[in-house]
Amino acid sequence: MKKYKINSDDRIVALTAGPWGPEGTVGGFVESEFNLSHTGNCWIYGDAQVSGDARVFNNAVVYDNAQVSGNAHVFGNASVFGNASVFGYVHIYDDALVSGVAQVFDCACIYGDAVVCDGAVAYENAHVFDDAQVSGDGWIYGDAKIFGHAKVSGNAEVFDAARVSGDARVFGYMKITQSVHYLISIAELTDELVIL
């Protein structure tokens, strides 16, 4: 059974009651029914848009003014909101959150309880997972991975094959690149440090 229809301005309209509200609740924008599954509690709220071959399924939600496009998949219990942009071949899943004006693109993956927020950027083959957070204007790219309870913030960059984990804090204008493997554990690194 279908849980929504698409009206003439490409907004979804609920055909059944659910976590999104009563029957008749107007949601966000899609290009086709491929963009939002009819099963699970997934939904697109507000002025959020899902387009192209992007898909939202399971119990994932996209709301506010967020945009999901390309071949991106948002699923599990993940949330994309604020003015965030998710595009390319990105996977956002589990209980991950992408918000603010964050951008996640190319083949990046955000999962577990990870958070990418504010003006953070994750792209190429970057992975953010476990309880890790990328915030401020932090960047993660290349084949870098941020995991554990690690936090990247400020204007910091983690890239190439870097691994940041444990309780590491990477902040300010620090740059962490390929020779840092596996972890910088319980590190309070100083502002403007470059680890090459």
What pLDDT sits at residue 133? 97
Classified as helix, coil or strand, 34 is: helix
Pair type for strands 127-128 and 121-122: unpaired
What pLDDT sits at residue 18? 96
pLDDT digits over 161-184, tens only? 888 888 888 888 888 885 443 444
CA distance 153 to 4: 39
| Percentage with pLDDT > 70 across the chain | 90
Q: Within the chain, what is the greatest distance between any pair of CA atoms?
A: 56
List phi, psi (to 5°) of 161. Answer: -105, 25
